[in-house]
Amino acid sequence: MAVLNVNPTRMELTNLKRKLVTARRGHKLLKDKRDELMRQFLALVKENKELRIKVENALKSANLSMSLAGSNMSDEAIAVALMMPSQKTGVELGTKKIMSVDVPEFKPAFRTERDDGIFSYGYAFTSSDLDRAVNELNSILPDMLRLAEIEKSCQLLSAEIEKTRRRANALEHVMIPNYTDTIKYITMKLDEIDRSTTTRLMKVKDMMLDNAHNYV
């Protein structure tokens, strides 16, 4: 039983009762928030996992093609072939809110400089493995950005869930018990004072009657 360090007065009691009501309401709200966050998070994390497996597999085969290209061509030749990319890829950054958590939205944005496809080189001096690698990377690109978006959202949501969970737990296991205990303590103390006053009055009355009429 943890009793807060307060004076056992009626005013303190009213204050504490009011605080307890607020704490209970806060706890309920936080619990609801946590549950909803958790629901959203689990859906997101499932997608995250599937997407990650998909992207990793695609990257694996792209890397394989790249290694093959590297074995056919010299490093310099590859560097030269890829030196001037025909497009620049970036993201349009937006934000949306999931349960008042800001999460980013990445929309792929392309800036094409030459309109001749994704290949930035002539085919004469490069191996077909390089073409395949570039092609594979290009097709996985939207998924990669989507993965970045989802994975970031998951990280941010999990941080928020952790915070909310801690707050809810602190209210449930520390604040609310402390308040109820203290309220109980003050009530008992006040009752005790009441009783002692009553008995004192009775005793005084007895003594006064005793003095006045000399009853025994």
Partner 1 sequence: MHKVAVIGDRVSVCGFKSVGFETFFITDPDEAASLLRRLASDGFAVIFITEKLAAELGDEIDRYKDAVTPAVILIPGVTGNTGNGLSSVLRSIERAVGSQLAE
- Interface residues with partner 1 (CB under 8 A) are 38, 41, 45, 48-49, 52-53, 55-56, 59-60, 62-63, 66-67, 70, 75, 78-79, 82-83, 85, 87-93, 95, 102-104, 106, 109-111, 118-120, 133-134, 137-138, 141, 144-145, 147-149, 151-152, 154-159, 161-162, 165
CB of 138: closest distance to partner 1 in angstroms?
A: 5
CB of 143: closest distance to partner 1 in angstroms?
A: 12
CB of 12: closest distance to partner 1 in angstroms?
A: 35
Distance, CA of 131 to CA of 126 (rounded, Å): 8
CB of 102: closest distance to partner 1 in angstroms?
A: 6
- Of 16 and 34, CB closest to partner 1: 34
Give the Å distances, CA to CA, from 54 to 30, 104, 150, 158, 198: 35, 21, 14, 22, 79
CB of 149: closest distance to partner 1 in angstroms?
A: 7
- Of 138 and 180, CB closest to partner 1: 138
- Of 22 and 57, CB closest to partner 1: 57
- Of 27 and 179, CB closest to partner 1: 27
Distance, CA of 30 to CA of 139 (rounded, Å): 42
E strand or H helix that includes residue 67 = helix 10-72
- Of 6 and 118, CB closest to partner 1: 118
Give the Å distances, CA to CA, from 159 to 38, 102, 166, 198: 11, 12, 11, 57
DSSP structural state of residue 171: I
**Contacts of 65 by beta carbon, 8 Å cutoff, 6+ apart:** 129, 130, 132, 133, 136
